Structure 1
Amino acid sequence: MRLPSTQALRALEAFSRHGTLWQAAAELNVTRSAVSHQLRFLEQDLGFALLQRAGKGVVLTAQGRHYAAEVRKALTTLTDAAVQYGDRGVLQGSLTVSSTPGFASFWLCTHAAEFKQLHPDVTLRIVTPHRLHDVAAPGVDVYIAYGDGDWPRHSVELLSTVDCTPVCSPALLNQLGGLNEPADVLRAILLHLSGLSEWTSWFAAAGIIGPDPERGLIFSDMNLVLAAAMAGQGIAIGDNFVCSHVLETGRLVRPFDLSVRVASAYYFVTQRDRSGNPAIQAFAIWLKGRLAQTTPLRAPQPSALPPATPPLP
């Protein structure tokens, strides 16, 4: 049996991930008809059926699914070898990193050029997921994910636990006449992400009973939360890494020292069969080293009482 064409194998691998011809075609930048023809040619070369009818569409046969899984492993090996044994003895290739929007905008994008300076021949792409805990997007090599760390089919490494505290603009703090005690945050609009309970956790730690965080402004993206906070639209809950830069530059301030450790954390996530990829390893080494040099928001001792914050002059 002759060796199938790489183009046909890539068509199969893309179709197996997406499940539709048009999505596979979009990824490969070819027509839907071209993908269909490649799969049919591949069936002829292999001598067994890859596709079967399902309603108005087609799906992989059981044998097709198993073969596609092996093809994915083989293509990954070829890609990693190209990176590892590139010309000039330097690290080459491309790396796509999926990062939560807040971490990407307020931390990763402020340091990413350093990685490029260290590895100029690696093409680095940074994308953001629709869900903070998503580790299944096609074409992504590395995930900086926010969640509980339970991704059993992946290689998972804790990057940082998360401490959250209220943050707001200096102008809003002055407009409110300062915040003397934690319950004073209720004098302003609360800003937060949809589906997260950081405000509830902070209220409990501060001994505030009964407020409903849902009465505030709810956003789908941490960039929007912090943009609203910097614009003086309310008080947000910020975590120790996402907010470190804007606090250092004075665009946001902490009304209180009281922070709470939340259940979710940031994790470095990759597919298990790609953890040895040289570009991934290089990015992991750089990321962990840079994080170690970053000074996050300091979490005070649990017994510390939140001090009063006087109005700004």
Structure 2
Amino acid sequence: MRYPSMTALRALDAVARLGSVTDAARQLNLTRSAISHQINSLEQSLGFALTERIGRGIGLTYRGECYAREVHQILADIQEAGRRFEDQQISGKLRISCNPGFASFWLCYHINDFLRQYPQVQLQVVTPRAPDDTSDPNADLFIAYGIGDWPDLLVEQIVALHFFPVCSPRLINALGGLKTPQELAGFPLIHMSDQTDWRVWLAAAGASSIDAGSGIIFSDAHCAQSACIAAQGVAIGDNLLSGDALARGLLVRPFEIAINPLRGYFLVVDPTKAERSVVQAFSTWLKNQLLATTQGISDKPPISS
């Protein structure tokens, strides 16, 4: 049996998908007679009929339908192989300045997916001194935490955050349960950077009488969440950094009330570097991956702060 031509395989695939020789001819920019000729040639190579007359038109035989499904998958695999090799043309060094909390709780768990898609990229991830610091002149892009105010830079919010209390189930069990926000008075509070998040959440929950200034302040999100997982207190978590711990049962969310913080995570890029193909590839990958991994983590309607 001779190897079938690619044109003949594409003709069969188009007829099978579109259900019409005319539509197949239009999509492939061929004539109807050329499509018919290609399918006839393919039938002669295979030794069995792919099409049959149905009224004034034609349809696929049972063997034709089965063969067309195999052909469609092969053509899809060929197209995917071409896309992967095209992606591999993206190369060079990429230095990412990433907020430590985002790096620890999200990027470190997903970054290898980017490298699998773009194996020729030389990737370096660094953490800045402050969550909103975008001063590193050697960085190609920044994943920064703030209110989105970075003059003269391209700024795009990459995930909408919802804040809510989280704690270890061991802590709740040890202290006899946690049913209402007012009962937080008997629990140690864990803060990140300052007490602002707790003050706003307690006000939204109608529990302003609780002393939001109590507890311990951590300057690092990793330390704050580690202390929370270790049952040292109740922290304000969010749908991004707390997502994995919530999914694994290391943390629980005792209340449905959530707030929309003024701050969030932003992709920040110098306009002079934004057109680099490696920067665009990472930016697209980051947004798609975030969308895939954060959907459904926190679907409770938040209260705006």
Shift of 1:288: 0.5
Question: What secondary structure, in the 3-state scheme, does the structure 2 residue paired with 1:274 have?
Answer: coil
Partner of 1:257: 256
Shift of 1:208: 1.0
- 1: CA distance between counterparts of 2:284 and 2:232? 38
- 2: CA distance between counterparts of 1:240 and 1:134? 23
Partner of 2:132: 133
Unmatched tracts of structure 1, length 5 or more = 1-87, 304-313
- 2: CA distance between counterparts of 1:228 and 1:244? 16
Amino acid at match of 1:236: A
Matches within 5 A, 1:186-205: 186-195=185-194, 197-205=196-204
Cα-to-partner distance string for 1:116-152 (whole Å, 9 max, x where unaligned): 0001111111222211111112321111111111111
* Percent identity (aligned): 40
- Point out the structure with max Rg over C-alpha: 2
Question: What secondary structure, in the 3-state scheme, does the structure 1 residue paired with 2:194 have?
Answer: coil
Shift of 1:211: 3.1
Q: Is the 8 A contact 2:195 2:213 kept in 1?
A: no
Shift of 1:297: 3.3
Q: Is the 8 A contact 1:146 1:265 kept in 2?
A: yes
Unmatched tracts of structure 2, length 5 or more = 1-86
Shift of 1:180: 1.0
- 2: CA distance between counterparts of 1:131 and 1:196? 17
Matches within 5 A, 1:1-313: 90-195=89-194, 197-294=196-293, 295=295, 297-301=297-301
Q: Aligned-pair RMSD on alpha carbons?
A: 1.9
Q: CA 1:285–1:155 in structure 2 vs 1: closer, same or farther (change >3 Å)?
A: same
Question: What secondary structure, in the 3-state scheme, does the structure 2 residue paired with 1:165 have?
Answer: strand
Shift of 1:301: 3.1
Cα-to-partner distance string for 1:290-309 (whole Å, 9 max, x where unaligned): 01111353242358xxxxxx
- 2: CA distance between counterparts of 1:91 and 1:302? 40
Q: Is the 8 A contact 2:162 2:302 kept in 1?
A: no
Larger deviation, residues 225-234 vs 96-105? 96-105
- 1: CA distance between counterparts of 2:299 and 2:88? 44
The normalised TM-score by structure 2 is: 0.68
Q: Is the 8 A contact 2:195 2:212 kept in 1?
A: no
Larger deviation, residues 259-268 vs 97-106? 97-106
Q: CA 1:149–1:250 in structure 2 vs 1: closer, same or farther (change >3 Å)?
A: same
Moved over 4 A (4+): none
Q: CA 1:236–1:149 in structure 2 vs 1: closer, same or farther (change >3 Å)?
A: same
Amino acid at match of 2:226: A
- 2: CA distance between counterparts of 1:230 and 1:127? 26
Q: Is the 8 A contact 1:226 1:236 kept in 2?
A: yes
- 1: CA distance between counterparts of 2:139 and 2:210? 40
